[in-house]
Amino acid sequence: MKRKIKAALLLGALLGVGLNPPLLAATGKKESEQTAKKGTTGKKSQVAAKPAVKSAAKPATTKKFAAAPAPAPAPAAKPSKSVKAPATRAGKSAQVSSEAVKKPVRRVSMADIDPSRLALYSSSALVIDQSTGQAVLEKHPDTVVPIASISKLMTAMVVLDAKLDLQEVIAIGEDDVDGLKGTRSRLPVGTTMTRETAMLLALMSSENRAAHSLGRHYPGGMPAFVQAMNRKAQALGMVNSRFEEPTGLSSNNVSTAHDLARMVTAAARYPEIRAFSTTAEARVELNGRPTDFHNTNALVRSDNWEIGVSKTGYISEAGRCLVMQARVADKPVVIVLLDSVGKMTRVGDANRIKRWMESASLVSERRPA
């Protein structure tokens, strides 16, 4: 019995020894799995902690991470955009403000193209840009009116077209005395002079006796001369013009601003007319006595004007008249002013037109291309 008990105990011991390693292994495996899980959890916590450590460590990084700040300009660029935007707005506002400064100037100069804004005192006015042939300014340009001594430009053209000897001596006769208006003259009856001198005095000083004498000494006399004047007018397209005599003393010498612009343009092609009509003053020997004559247009003596052709005119029916070919605001122009009220208003109108054209030219130059 004792032997059986001992054998059972021995068998149990043997079995106990054989089962312990697996149990221990299982237990170790569980423990290792738990440890692994714990280790994994620890690693996860460490990984999660690393960015915090790294982000905290970045500012204190050494040269190894010197490139890390490179992305920093990207965030810094955002403020720069916000800085640029106000600058752009400021530029736009500056541009707008500069335009706001220009606009009033442009409005003033463009509004002045209305003759009423220019305060022109001439009943008819016309400015033609000869480079384009376009009218720059118009005020009743087609009204037919008496033109007074503006007629003398046609007188000079007819004489020159006939190619008469300018050095031929002609005389002032009784027929040259003004019996229509009773105007005075510094050329007494019997005064002799060359045809050239007579033309100079007719254009520069508007001497009526000199102009009448030019017509009277034309081949065929005065009737042929008047016919030649009207033929010339028709040839120039002056369809609303008519001439009755060479001085302009007759109110039947009529034209329009448009027609006279054509006449002035044609007259500017004659060197003699250009020279004589713009001569400021001349000393002429008449009957052995030197006599000084002056231009009836004060503007030819002004340094502010560059005038190629000039002629004034006056009778009561025509009022004060002035025509010119000139260079204004660096442009060749023809200016026609008819029936101006007042002795100096035609000159004032011419100066107002000149200032307006010059100011308009400055505004256009300031405009961006």
How many other C-beta atoms can be found within 10 angstroms of the C-beta atom of residue 195? 19
Across 129-140, b (16+ Cβ under 10 Å) vs e yields: bbeeeeebbbbb
| Identified catalytic residue from 122, 205, 206, 310 | 206
Strands, E, within the chain: which ranges?
122-129, 134-139, 145-146, 169-171, 192-194, 254-255, 281-286, 289-294, 306-315, 319-328, 331-340
Active site (annotated) includes residue 55: no
Please give the distance of CA 204 from its chain centroid, rounded to a whole number.
34
List all residues 6 or more positions away from 286 whose beta carbon is below 8 Å from its beta carbon. 186, 187, 191, 193
C-alpha 294/C-alpha 283 separation (Å) is 9
Residue given tokens 């890390």 in the structure block: 68
β-bridge partners, 287: none
Cβ-contact 234, 99 below 8 angstroms: no
Which DSSP state fits 96? H
Active site (annotated) includes residue 316: no
| Identified catalytic residue from 109, 122, 151, 152 | 152
Active site (annotated) includes residue 38: no
List all residues 6 or more positions away from 333 whose beta carbon is below 8 Å from its beta carbon. 127, 128, 129, 130, 136, 325, 326, 327, 357
| Identified catalytic residue from 122, 149, 255, 310 | 149
List all residues 6 or more positions away from 218 whose beta carbon is below 8 Å from its beta carbon. 158, 159, 162, 164, 224, 225, 228
Residue type, 313: G
For 12, left (φ over 0), alpha (ψ -120 to 50), or beta? alpha
C-alpha 314/C-alpha 337 separation (Å) is 12
List active site positions. 149, 152, 206
